[in-house]
A and B are shown apart, each in its own frame.
Chain A
Amino acid sequence: MPPTLTAGRARLTMKAKIIITPKKAVLDPQGKTVESALAHLGYQGVQGVHVGKYIEIDLADGDREATRQQLDDACRKFLSNPVIEDYQLVLE
């Protein structure tokens, strides 16, 4: 299905939200530093902090399943590095 055009531009109807976090086995010095800073500031009960990345992608309307497959491919090949990172993909 071709994208719906509004005033010459593709109508944005889908949004991909991608959360990338360091794998548990990978040293995460940022997470450790934030964790100790939280404790230092008096916030209690923090049992672990992992600092990652958040990527939002606006997408033209299209086949959801095909889009998801493409995004998965992009996450594995480019947006995350599977050697050191995990990702979660949400398509809205």
Chain B
Amino acid sequence: MKFAVVQFPGSNSDQDCVHTVQLCGHQAELRWHKDTSLGTVDAVLVPGGFSYGDYLRTGAIARFSPIMQAVQQFAADGGLVLGICNGFQILCEAGLLPGALIRNRSLQFRCEPVFLKTTTRDSAFTRAIPEGKLLQVPIAHGEGCYFADAETLAKLKANNQILWQYANAQGELTEDANPNGSLESIAGICNDRRNVAGLMPHPERASELLMGGLADGKLIFDSMIAALASQDRLVAA
């Protein structure tokens, strides 16, 4: 498989994404924000960081960069796209995912490991995660509070689009375990076609036991690779 990792001025998890894909035994290539084509790839990763200095709003300027038109087209054609942290914010700004990410309720930048409950395994991004397994993955963001209006939130729930929620070590969705005030403790969602997803935590920073003993994040990459390999139900009808 070949992954494209989009690189904006201010991206900082791009190389980690490339490294993680390679760790999984697959290829990853960087695509600069001024590129107009993704080339022939199987999936796209929009990495974390502070694209364009987070000016105006997080992701607001990045979404208009030339490469994002190619990402829009790739997603429209049913390709798998995963946005991580700032990548999630960019995909929301681009309208590829519903809702928005706003300042953390605490107004603090939160940088710590969190537990994620996988809400559904019925997606190309979660299928390789064992049933009931809590993922321990780090977060590092100041604007990760997920917001959507009541109607959008109801749709997300009805269509099973919530992929991950912040939980405590027992897997319970408590106020204390929610690091940023996200509605419904949402850490990550997918679109209604289920081929575009985003999450605030950084799975690529927890994919290798060598790096602090956390490798749960790799399961998300494994899921995408398994989905691409089977090619079944990448896109909902």
A interface, CB within 8 angstroms of B? 22, 25-27, 29-30, 33, 78-79, 81, 83-84
A78-B99 CB under 8 A given contacts A27-B147, A29-B107, A29-B181: no
B interface, CB within 8 angstroms of A? 56-57, 60, 64, 92-93, 99-100, 102-107, 145, 147-149, 181
Among candidates A27, A33, A81, A83, residue contacting B145 with C-beta atoms closer than 8 Å:
A27
B147 touches A79 (CB 8 A): no
Task: Report the separation of the CA atoms of residues A29 and B57 in the bound assembly, to the nearest whole angstrom.
Answer: 16
Q: In the assembled complex, how far is the CB of residue B80 from the closest CB belonging to chain A, in whole angstroms?
A: 24
Cβ of B103: which chain A residues have Cβ within 8 Å of it? 29-30
B107 touches A30 (CB 8 A): yes
Give the one of A22, A26, A78, A81 with max B CB within 10 A.
A81
A79 touches B56 (CB 8 A): yes
| A-B pairs with beta carbons under 8 Å apart, 6 shown | A22-B102, A27-B145, A27-B181, A29-B107, A81-B57, A83-B100
B105 touches A83 (CB 8 A): no
A78 touches B64 (CB 8 A): yes
B102 touches A27 (CB 8 A): yes
A81 touches B93 (CB 8 A): yes
